[in-house]
Structure 1
Amino acid sequence: MLLGTWKLRSFTTEDLANGEKTDLFGAHPDGYLSYSADGRMHAIVLKEGRKAPAGVVPTDAERIELYSGLSAYAGTYNTDGDLVSHHVDASWNESWTGTVQVRRFRIDGEHLYITTLPDKNPVTGKQSTSVLVWTKVKSVDKAAK
């Protein structure tokens, strides 16, 4: 069941032209993916090793570096067999806003495997697929807070 929150464990991209596999967001990316019972979803993926800006207001160069290490979007979702469709309402990349991002998914115990369909990668511009591996986040005990 997709419902709940998942923590990102890995994000591997394969260039379909040459079969080369890379970790575009590093060997240990960070991020979360959540699916709620009301049909809403949101995802944030962060590159490993992002550096905080020197001051409260990032310089233009720091902004570019922070932006290039980020992918995030939110919207609604629906499933059909092993496909999940993300209907994007808001996105880090406005070219995704208003689109439907279709992914294959598989759940194995506490792990969720999301595979993008072959398409132009928004980071590299090359035809590729990506596999993101997520681990189910345990519920927070609200009484303990």
Structure 2
Amino acid sequence: MTLPSVEQQPQSRAGPLLGTWKLQSFTDEDVATGQKADLFGAHPSGYLHYGPDGRMYAILLKEGRKAPDTLIPTDAERVDLYSGLIAYAGTYSIEGDLISHHIDASWNQLWTGTTQVRQIRIDGNSLYIKTLPARNPLTGKESSAVLVWIKVE
């Protein structure tokens, strides 16, 4: 049996970023107009987790999502549920105030295999994440979003 090289071994991470964070707000800003919008409502829900093994996941849900009438959603219900969801998982790396999410699985298959880079700042028990300007997968417009998360204790 051979052991993986040092480069292949997962590196343990530590620090205030580790753990689970609950979504408080998600505000998108259109780059061209400066117009801001809460695309997932004033009170979205969701969780973000960073593990010491370098793995992460994020799930964001639109405020007021309606449950389907039956166990198997209709096509219209399925579209409504999908349009109120962002979810992905993968690994993460940090360099300065930038965090890179290296996505292995995603609600939007176009994100799978990509790296999403965000600016981060921790202030007490709040985590502020700002996306870099890019085409928004919900609106198709060039935008940047600010997400505020609260540490789950």
TM-score class, shorter:
over 0.9
Matched, 1:41 2:56: yes
- The separation in 2 between residues aligned to 1:2 and 1:136, in whole angstroms, is 9
Shift of 1:78: 0.6
Other-structure match for 1:123: 138
Runs of 4+ in 1 over 3 A off after TM superposition: none
1:84-120 CA deviation, whole Å, 9 max, x = no partner?
Answer: 0000000000000000000000000000000000000
List aligned pairs for 1:1-145, cutoff 5 A: 1-138=16-153
SS at 1:63 equivalent:
helix
- The separation in 2 between residues aligned to 1:61 and 1:3, in whole angstroms, is 38
Normalising by structure 2, we get a TM-score of 0.90
Identify unmatched segments of 5+ residues in structure 2.
1-15
State the number of aligned residues: 138
> Which amino acid in structure 1 is aligned with residue 105 of structure 2?
A
Normalising by structure 1, we get a TM-score of 0.95
- The separation in 2 between residues aligned to 1:38 and 1:4, in whole angstroms, is 11
SS at 2:82 equivalent:
helix
Larger of the two Rg values belongs to structure: 2
1:103-138 CA deviation, whole Å, 9 max, x = no partner?
Answer: 000000000000000000010000000000000001
* Identity score, percent: 70
> Which amino acid in structure 2 is aligned with residue 16 of structure 1?
V
Shift of 1:3: 0.4
Shift of 1:5: 0.2
Identify unmatched segments of 5+ residues in structure 1.
139-145
SS at 2:79 equivalent:
helix
1:9-51 CA deviation, whole Å, 9 max, x = no partner?
Answer: 0000000100000000000000000000000000000000000
> Which amino acid in structure 1 is aligned with residue 56 of structure 2?
M
- The separation in 2 between residues aligned to 1:24 and 1:105, in whole angstroms, is 20
